[in-house]
Chains A and B, each alone.
Chain A
Amino acid sequence: MSNLTQPPASAAPQIRLSQVVKDFGSTRIIDHLDLSIPQGQKVALIGPSGSGKSTVLRLIKGLETYQHGSIEVAGAPVPDKHTGWRWPGSKKPPVVHRVGMVFQQFNLFPHLSVLENVTEAPLRVLKLSRDEAQERAREYLGLVGMSHKTAAYPGQLSGGQQQRVAIARALAMRPQVMLFDEVTSALDPELVGEVLAVIRSIAHEQQMTMLLVTHEMKFAQDIADRVLFMEAGKIVADGSARQILLEPENPRTRRFLNLVGQR
């Protein structure tokens, strides 16, 4: 597996997974996975369902437990067991590195307006003032093209609009890493484009590390520096978009891409 995207020698990897194992009952979901992602890299994760792609993202965010190995983001470890909620006044350190995540099901807060959805975390977690939070929210809502709907409620928006707000909500925390978990899979086909456009603009403008689990191969080709093909909890192929998607050496990769109809 050659790697055309060599990180600068001096930079420590932004995300590092070492020999991570995750089991769910008797099924091994992640099988001794090693992964190292330098800062600023845009990585696409592809593979059949059940291969563990979403789980990798969730592990990085700390939403899943794991049984073996270690995970580090920006030098800070991600614990292997659920450490419970942060209680205010607890001895747990405030969040050092920020990892933003956008979900397939958007998960917007239905009882809050669009603006409130985006200001909530900056207000409560970053402890910004109301003015600062709103200013920031408007900035990112503008970026995703939802400035005209700040007073609307999620129930009044289309799927594509909701997902764009979800992206703004995650960006408003100014994360160093952005995770996108099949963010267009739940959308009607005609709405997919607007969300992909937003992600594309982020990828080109912002210097953040991005990990995308996606089925949109052309899109992955467009913005990803690096593509990982996963199967049964392991990384089977790892290279540039050109290598993996256009000239796959690995027969399994070829078979998958054939099935998905992207070759």
Chain B
Amino acid sequence: MNFDYAFAWSILPELFMGLLVTLQVVVLGFLLAVLVGLVLAIAQRSKRTWLHRLSAGYLSFFRHTPLMVQLYVLFFALPLAGITLPAISTGVIGLGLYYGAYIAEAYRGAIEGVPTGQWEAARALDFDAITTWQRIVLPQALKPMLPILGNYLIGMFKETPLLAVITIPELFQAAKQIAGMSYRYTEPYTVMALMFLAISVPTSLLFKFLERRRHV
């Protein structure tokens, strides 16, 4: 088994382009997921039964079905509803909706960790809902959430190969194409795997370091 280093070097630019698309989709998807998660977490706490049930249903459905099939459905269903989006946007939405369901759970734990006294003090000072959430509850809830969010960010990054199934030209897709055209599999997949490791391992170490630093 020979590893053609020259070939590996030559395909780097193409793989790198794919990596850039990957990063783009991950960042946008993550931001959407954080937003979706917050909306769901607030809806879960609502006293209105329909809202509570609806969000519970959403959470259950998105957490018990595979992301890949969800992407398929989005990819084919959206145009039927008259919404034509580029594949990348569909990917971002798919990631956001899926991970939003998981992040909502992280929010729930963190929000419940804020002592009831804080809510009462806000009410005693006649704060309205938005001020209470924005200035009192969320700032206290987000701090313990950061490591969990970091984990989901890394997880999202590693799941991006799935986006290839809806034709997004990310890193994995780039590797597949090179392999398909050159009939050499080792180099593209190895370099791709190394790129994944090169990003996810340092990032996770960074998060661990940040977490430890805050506790000191």
Q: Do chains A and B touch in the complex (CB under 8 A)?
A: yes
Give A residues with C-beta under 8 Å from B. 61-63, 82, 84-88, 95, 98, 100-101, 103, 105-111, 120-121, 124-125, 169-170, 173
In the bound complex, residues from chain A placing their C-beta under 8 Å from that of B120 are 63, 103, 107
A-B interface, 6 closest residue pairs, ranked by CB to CB distance from nearest:
A85-B129, A107-B121, A107-B117, A121-B125, A86-B128, A101-B124
Provide the B16-40 mask, 1 if CB < 8 A to any CB of A, else 0.
0000000000000000000000000
* Closest chain B residue to A99, Cβ basis: B124
Task: Report the minimum CB–CB distance from B205 to chain A (whole Å).
Answer: 28
Chain B interface residue count, Cβ-Cβ cutoff 8 angstroms: 20
B128 touches A88 (CB 8 A): yes
A selection of 5 A-B contacts at a CB cut-off of 8 Å is A61-B124, A86-B129, A103-B121, A107-B121, A109-B118
A87 touches B129 (CB 8 A): yes
Task: Report the minimum CB–CB distance from B116 to chain A (whole Å).
Answer: 9
Contact of B131 among A95, A110, A111, A124 (CB under 8 A): A124
B4 within 8 A of A: no
Which B135-153 residues have a C-beta within 8 angstroms of A? 135-136, 139-140
Distance A99 CA – B41 CA, assembled complex (angstroms): 31
B89 within 8 A of A: no
Task: Report the minimum CB–CB distance from B140 to chain A (whole Å).
Answer: 6
B127 within 8 A of A: yes
A87 touches B124 (CB 8 A): no
In the bound complex, residues from chain B placing their C-beta under 8 Å from that of A124 are 127-128, 131, 135
Task: Report the minimum CB–CB distance from B136 to chain A (whole Å).
Answer: 6
In the bound complex, residues from chain B placing their C-beta under 8 Å from that of A109 are 118, 121, 136, 140
B123 within 8 A of A: yes
